[in-house]
Amino acid sequence: MTAPSRSAYAVVVVGAGIIGLYIAYHLARAGAGPVLVIDRGFLSSGASGRNGGGVRQQWETRATVRLARESVAAYRRFGRDFGYNIWFRQSGYLFLAETDVELARLRGVHDLVVSEGLPSQVLDASGVARLLDGIAPGSVVGGTYLATDGTLYPFPAVWGVYEAARALGVEVALGVEALGVEAPDGRVVAVVTNRGRVTTPVVVNAAGGWSAEFSRRAGLAVPNVATRHEILATEPLKPFLDPMVVRASDGLYFSQTMRGEIVGGLTLRNGSGIEAGMPSSPRFLKEMSRALVRLVPRLGAVGVLRAWSGFYDDTPDGFPVIGEDPRQKGFVHANGFGGHGFMLAPAVSLRAAHAVMGEPVDLDPNAFSPARFLTNDRPTSVERLQLG
């Protein structure tokens, strides 16, 4: 546990995951004044250290495709920018369709992605089989594939941004929990922590699965819901799989690491909220194993080495929440990324930093602003491709 060294900061960021650290890095580069990042756990204790490492540009809305494309470009140059090798492999994302209805939906995604200049492909069942060796005959009717999507190792990415932010003067205090916000007259003046009160005019909520809880502690009602998702890793196998594979029907996803392990998860209906913690369950192991073996029978004899879980931070429309809350001046949201904060981190964190500094942000407020949830109007668009 490391207590803050000062009593006052220009900005306090709550959450030392990839989003919070990236925001602090951008703020420090812009000379935003002393920046403090606090986290209730250790580095990578949240979703940033518990995800499958997938980075894709296949989405249902143009805004998300553009943010993802920008993030892919940033991850390609990450080694040059931060001096850490994140083992970013652009070996593609393969989406699977079991029915013609699902394939039609994926074709719509394909059309949008192609219109943004990305080389997406629509595949029939034989085309899928060429990319997924050993797939069960008749298990899919087709799919889509984008070769410039890929996977990375989350831990060196977190450490790279962490070290770069600290080198610019950002202070990171771990084991420090944000208990609330002082905001007389609707304006932030301080953050209250378990290590004392910290004066600041700006607080950034980048707490991931805990973001809704922190917003409530600040007196703000938000629609974010934390849901637990589980992942497993198998023993190493001889390399046979290049792309990340995602099945549209149930959210099954898996890829093969450079060490040969199969790493993946499956969407289950777990209870919402953070109270149950982040355990793994026998139910997940059983259902994930069944799903994998039915799709790729050759995996039937493979042993599971470990399993874990983490939280998605979901919003009703599938878009993240970025920007200042109109109910509390100085309270800036950078949350609601579902399970895809790592995918979008480089691009969205830059926008969040601009919002902190009061600069224009090139995001549609109807899709990204926290104000969109303060009316009864239905969202103008919805991002539903919250898989893998």
CA 342 to each of CA 40, 164, 272, 335: distance values in angstroms, whole numbers, following the listed order: 19, 17, 21, 12
Stretch (H or E) spanning 345: helix 341-356
Contact by Cβ (8 Å): 344, 337: yes
% of the chain exceeding 90 in pLDDT = 89
What are the pLDDT tens digits along the chain (388 aa)? 678 999 999 999 999 999 999 999 999 999 999 999 999 999 988 899 999 999 999 999 999 999 999 999 999 999 999 999 999 999 999 999 999 999 999 999 999 999 999 999 999 999 999 999 999 999 999 999 999 999 999 999 999 999 999 999 999 999 999 999 999 999 999 999 999 999 999 999 999 999 999 999 999 999 999 999 999 999 999 999 999 999 999 989 999 999 999 999 987 876 666 766 777 889 999 999 999 999 999 999 999 999 999 999 999 999 999 999 999 999 999 999 998 999 999 999 999 999 999 999 999 998 999 999 998 766 566 776 666 5
CA 82 to each of CA 39, 43, 153, 157, 165: distance values in angstroms, whole numbers, following the listed order: 22, 17, 14, 9, 10
Contact by Cβ (8 Å): 223, 362: no
Total residue count of the chain as it appears in this document: 388
What domains does the chain contain, in order, with CATH numbers? 1-90+150-224+315-388 (3.50.50.60), 91-149+227-312 (3.30.9.10)
CA pair distance 228, 280, nearest whole angstrom = 10
Report CA torsion sign: 16, 18, 20, 23: positive
CA pair distance 166, 281, nearest whole angstrom = 37
- Strand 54-55 with 331-335, pairing: unpaired
Q: Using a CB cutoff of 8 Å and minimum separation of 24, what contacts does 98-101 make?
A: 98/139, 98/140, 98/141, 98/247, 98/248, 98/249, 99/141, 99/249, 100/141
pTM (2 d.p.): 0.95
CA pair distance 367, 322, nearest whole angstrom = 9
Please write the tens of the pLDDT for every residue from 328-386: 999 999 999 998 999 999 999 999 999 999 999 999 998 999 999 998 766 566 776 66
- Strand 35-39 with 11-14, pairing: parallel
CA 231 to each of CA 95, 234, 258: distance values in angstroms, whole numbers, following the listed order: 18, 10, 17
Q: List residues bridging with 314 in a β-sheet.
A: 225
> What is the Cα 287 distance to its own chain's centre?
24
Tokens linked to 350: 């830059």
Structure-token match 């209805």, residue found? 101
- Encoded amino acid at 221, one letter: A
Q: For position 39, what pLDDT does the model report?
A: 97
CA pair distance 150, 152, nearest whole angstrom = 7
Contact by Cβ (8 Å): 75, 88: yes
Stretch (H or E) spanning 374: none
φ and ψ at residue 44, rounded to 5 degrees: 75, 20
CA 189 to each of CA 170, 183, 332: distance values in angstroms, whole numbers, following the listed order: 20, 6, 13
- Quickly list DSSP for 276-289: T-S---HHHHHHHH
